[in-house]
Amino acid sequence: MANTLYGASQDFHDFAAEYRRQHPDDVLTIDTALSADQDVTALIDRLAANGRQPMLICNSVGDLGVPVASNVFASRERLARLFGTTSAGLHDAFQARANAPIEPRYVDSGAILDEVYEGEALDLARLPMLKHFASDRGPYVTNAVIIADDPVTGVANLSYHRSMRHARQALATSLHSRGHLWRMLQTARERGQALPVAMVIGAHPLFMLAAAARLPYGSDERALAGGLFGAPLELVRTPRHGIGVPACAEFVLEGSIDANDHAEEGPFGEFSGYSSDRSTNNLLRLDTLMRRRDPWLVDIVGGNYAEHLTLARLPREAEMSEKLKARFPAVTAVHYPNSGTHFHCYVALNQSRDGEARQIMLALLGWDPYLKTVIAVDSDVDVVDDSQVLWALATHFQPHRDQFVIDGLPGSPLDPSSSIDGTTSRMALDATRGAGFDGIRARIDDSALARACELLVKQGRQP
């Protein structure tokens, strides 16, 4: 199942060139000199305010000396094109490939080996960084995929972690998710060891999507990346610790994290839309900096912008959609809206019996630890459209009978409203019509809609 739309290359440069050739209207190139202090974020903010989410390429940003590509993941349509499908088919296409993992393959050479710096030559000044928000502590790496091998099993894990410069050869980072990487770090601590890691900064979008996926402990996201590519992910080994990293990556940092070493970082603009200083304040000491000869800074704009949310959400959304539809055939669609950051989910269904919507919402609230609110609607409601979901809530929902709350569950540590111990409450709202509902939808005949469209075209107004 090769990625025929953009060829077999695993190189971000090839992807960007081919995408710009095929979809020039969906790429905005800025040649004007920009500041590395918030200008890229500001551009994306103003574009979003006007309903635009193009891939953004900025050729002159401060003194970075490299092009900056950002907003790549902001558009679901753009991501669907990676899989040769439409936005409506994105979940199924992603899961079809994710469910057919292919083990990675090691190769002898790759662009990431163009320049390798160690010892005194290693200086984080060679790594471009942007400041995204006025409230950020400083410039950050927002696209930092940390790869680590389990100290016992040797199986690798990939995960995203915000990082800022701490010293010439050290980064302060947060393992805030306290997920698999955190577990590996504790295992290394118990063995009296530091944990060797590699940090990949910039790679093909399919690799980046794989790194955002949630897999069981002991599963390697690099095999999932192979499934997404339809071919083995090509890896080279880092010089000091031999960790497998994408051969065509833009930048790679190699070093180790000692659970006993700490360095302050944050605040940083997180997905909630608030600047967060909640952090594990870990220190990554560097041994090696690798970069290709002609690197790009592939940036992920932080905060609650579409790119940050969609990159993190798509693999989880596709997983939830597959699990729900397999267990509950009544489910027709699942959507995590940008308006709810990672905390809201809409689910559409053809309800066949009373209570089915509640059962489905309970499953969602139990499976996804980030969710705080789930709204169930009928299948004729477009869950991608907030206004339609809110209309269903306004006309079908009665608070005294159609909602329930569960308290004291673990939630996201980056939720600014969570309790001091990280727990949250979760709410389900049943906005389906239910048995006995006797309202009749006001509708317009298809023939009248067709005549209206024809008239608007004649008037020069595209409907």
Q: What is the pLDDT of residues 385-396, one digit of tens each?
A: 999 999 999 999
Q: Is 298 in contact with 64 (CB distance < 8 Å)? A: no
The CATH classification number of 328-430 equals 3.40.1670.10
HSE-up of residue 417 (Cα within 13 Å, Cβ side): 8
**Model confidence over 14-54: pLDDT tens digits?**
999 999 999 999 999 999 999 999 999 999 999 988 989 99
Backbone angles phi, psi at 456, to 5 degrees: -65, -35
| Fold annotation for 78-298 | Pnp Oxidase; Chain A (2.30.110)
Give the global pTM: 0.88
| Closest to 142 in 3D by CA, of 153, 130, 151 | 130
Those residues whose C-beta lies under 8 Å from the C-beta of residue 443, and which sit 6 or more positions away, are none
> How many CB atoms within 10 Å of residue 77?
12
Predicted local confidence at residue 7, as pLDDT: 53
C-alpha gyration radius of the chain: 23
Predicted local confidence at residue 34, as pLDDT: 95
CATH 2.30.110.10 domain locations along the chain: 78-298
Q: Which of 1-10, 361-370, 430-439 has the lowest mean pLDDT?
A: 1-10
- Residues 376 and 428: their CA atoms lie apart, in Å, by 8
Predicted local confidence at residue 432, as pLDDT: 95
**Stretch 213-240: mean pLDDT:** 95
SS3 296: coil
SS3 272: coil
Q: Which of 268-272, 329-333, 448-452 has the lowest mean pLDDT?
A: 268-272
> How many CB atoms within 10 Å of residue 13?
18
Those residues whose C-beta lies under 8 Å from the C-beta of residue 135, and which sit 6 or more positions away, are 267, 269, 275
The total number of residues written for the chain in this structure: 463
| Closest to 68 in 3D by CA, of 111, 112, 36 | 36
CATH 3.40.1670.10 domain locations along the chain: 328-430
| Closest to 70 in 3D by CA, of 50, 90, 44 | 44
Please give the C-alpha separations between residue 381 and each of 147, 201, 431, in angstroms, as whole numbers: 41, 40, 10
- Residues 435 and 437: their CA atoms lie apart, in Å, by 6
- Residues 377 and 388: their CA atoms lie apart, in Å, by 9
> Is it the case that residue 226 has pLDDT exceeding 90?
yes
Cα dihedral 232, 234, 237, 238, rounded to 10, equals -130
**Stretch 271-299: mean pLDDT:** 89
Q: Is 310 in contact with 276 (CB distance < 8 Å)? A: no
> Is it the case that residue 61 has pLDDT exceeding 60?
yes
| Closest to 79 in 3D by CA, of 17, 5, 165, 153 | 5
Distance of CA 16 to the CA centre of its chain: 19
Predicted local confidence at residue 183, as pLDDT: 93
**Model confidence over 92-146: pLDDT tens digits?**
999 999 999 999 999 999 999 999 999 999 999 999 999 998 998 999 999 999 9
